[in-house]
Amino acid sequence: MASSVKLGRPRRSGPLISLVPMIDVMLILLVFFMVTSTYLNLDMIPAMRQQERAGGSGLASGGTVLIRLAADGVPVTQGRALSHDSLSALLTERLADDPLTQVLVLPSGAATTQALITVMDTATRAGAVRLRVIRLEAQP
């Protein structure tokens, strides 16, 4: 007596979890990140370094150029108001003679932050490696 065994292939079941809610959540997250993100291209200029503080004032060697920054943002050196091009030429000349020339910037309290950054930019582009901003403090 022959008996036949019938093997049934298990029926494929559909996906247990629907993809639609996941797509909804992902789209909501995507829109959230796209709307709330602000993309800023920012740089920085070091204002304080630990090794500088440890190394003392650094005034001992090399020449020094003192730049006063007037309230209107005009740099003044040795009593002469200079344009930024003239300042750059002066610093380039002084730094060619002595690359370790220290550049000191004494800004007026009424000058703007942009004016100070512009002078620092000019000095850095002229090749200054020793640049300091100094500030006068009132003593009682």
Partner 1 sequence: MKLDRPTRAQHSETIIALIDVVFFLLVFFMLIGRMDATAPFDVDPPFAITGRDMPAGGATLAVSRDGTLALDGTTIARTELDTALARALAQDSDLRLRVNAHRDAELRHVLPLVAIAEAAGIKDMVLVVTPASQP
Binding residues (CB under 8 A) for partner 1: these are: 19, 22-23, 26-27, 29-30, 33-34, 37-39, 41-50, 53, 107-114, 116-118, 120-121, 124-125, 133, 135, 137
Q: Is 121 helix (H, G, I), strand (E, B) or coil?
A: helix
Name which of 1 and 34 has its Cβ closer to partner 1.
34
| Shortest reach from residue 138's CB to partner 1, in Å | 11
**Whole-number minimum distance, CB 57 to partner 1, in Å?**
14
Residue 19 CB, nearest approach to partner 1 (Å): 6
Q: Provide the phi-psi class of 11: left if phi over 0, else alpha when psi is between -120 and 50, else beta.
A: beta
Measured from the CB atom, the residue of 24 and 93 that comes closer to partner 1 is 24
Give burial (CB, 10 Å; 0-12/13-18/19+) of 31. Answer: exposed
Best CA proximity match to 94, nearest among 120, 72, 65:
65
